[in-house]
Amino acid sequence: MKILITGATGLIGRHLCHALNEDGHTIVGVSRSSRKPADVDVAEMIQWDSQAGPLPDDALDQVDAVINLAGEPIAAKRWSDQQKKSIRDSRIVTTRKLVEGMRRAVRKPEVFVSSSAVGYYGNRGDEQLEETSPPGRGFMSEVCQEWEREAARASELGIRLVLVRTGVVLSSNGGALEKMLPPFKMGVGGRLGSGKQWFPWIHIDDIAGIFSHAIVNAEVSGPINGAAPEAATNAEFTRELGRALHRPVFLPVPEFALRALMGEMADVLFDSQRVIPSAALASGYEFRHPQLEPALADVLSR
């Protein structure tokens, strides 16, 4: 298959490009820069700034599938009004223009797999959240809902649509875990607040695997939770991370301190989402790293 991927140079994008390339697919990356990084396995890199104009008319030539991973990192900066606009527009506007590009295409792709996030569910305590669960409240939930509505317009074109609600991706090459490692390695890591909030984690191999699975399996459609089957609370996750690093975990970080430091962005750390990957399991996806302890050991060994 010929697959177009926006956000090809990001954390998930790099890993996914490599995996799809190894499976024999031809990958066309989309980035704001036309430069093709040496470690990104794409046959071609198309330059596109979604905030500046429409998708180039020739970008979808002979493309069989589109994967949308574009989006401003959630935790890159404190959430000022401008940063919240960047987070929103980088997802909603990009997705809207991608679908508009598909609408113009003479030969439309067969499938559109668009990233979303577990933030869709908001703060839900101990409730088990499957793909049929209703959305929650708050900034990230509102962004995810609008993001998914824009992607859903592809269905009107007869294109199979999959919405991957991604959890916290565990990788040795970036993302949340990379930011967590320094204090834990120094022995000053600990749970966040009470630690009772659920932490919907997933190994980088499996989030890439779910995207690949969604591309090649015609029966997969609609939302699919990108989280591991073994749920963990923040306290359980930090305990396992400390154990994997052979470091003590005894200094909890007070919630009030993080909220004072991070403002509204702290919601990402304290919202509780007990996400169950029901759709992935029902469609036959087999997780390579379903359990937290061996998943962390694998990531940290790389």
Query: What pLDDT digit, counting tens, does each position of 110-131 carry?
Result: 999 999 999 999 999 999 999 9
- Model-level pTM? 0.95
Q: Which residue has the higher pLDDT, 267 or 250?
A: 267
DSSP 8-state code for residue 288: S
**How does the average pLDDT of the chain come out, rounded?**
94
pLDDT band with cut points at 50, 70 and 90 for residue 32? confident
Measured distance CA(143)–CA(90) in Å, rounded: 10
3-state secondary structure of 168: strand
According to the CATH classification, is domain 2-170+201-227+274-288 in 3.40.50.300? Answer: no
State the average pLDDT over residues 11-32: 94
Residues 275 and 127: their CA atoms lie apart, in Å, by 9
Least confident piece of the model among 120-124, 146-150, 244-248, 249-253: 249-253
| Side-chain-side CA neighbours of residue 213 (13 Å) | 23
* The dihedral sign for the CA sequence 182, 186, 187, 193: negative
Predicted pLDDT at 258: 84
| pLDDT over 70 percentage in the chain | 100
Per-residue pLDDT tens digits for 163-195: 999 999 999 888 888 888 888 998 888 999 999
At residue 86 the predicted structure's pLDDT band, cuts being 50, 70 and 90, is very high
Q: What is the mean pLDDT of residues 98-103?
A: 97
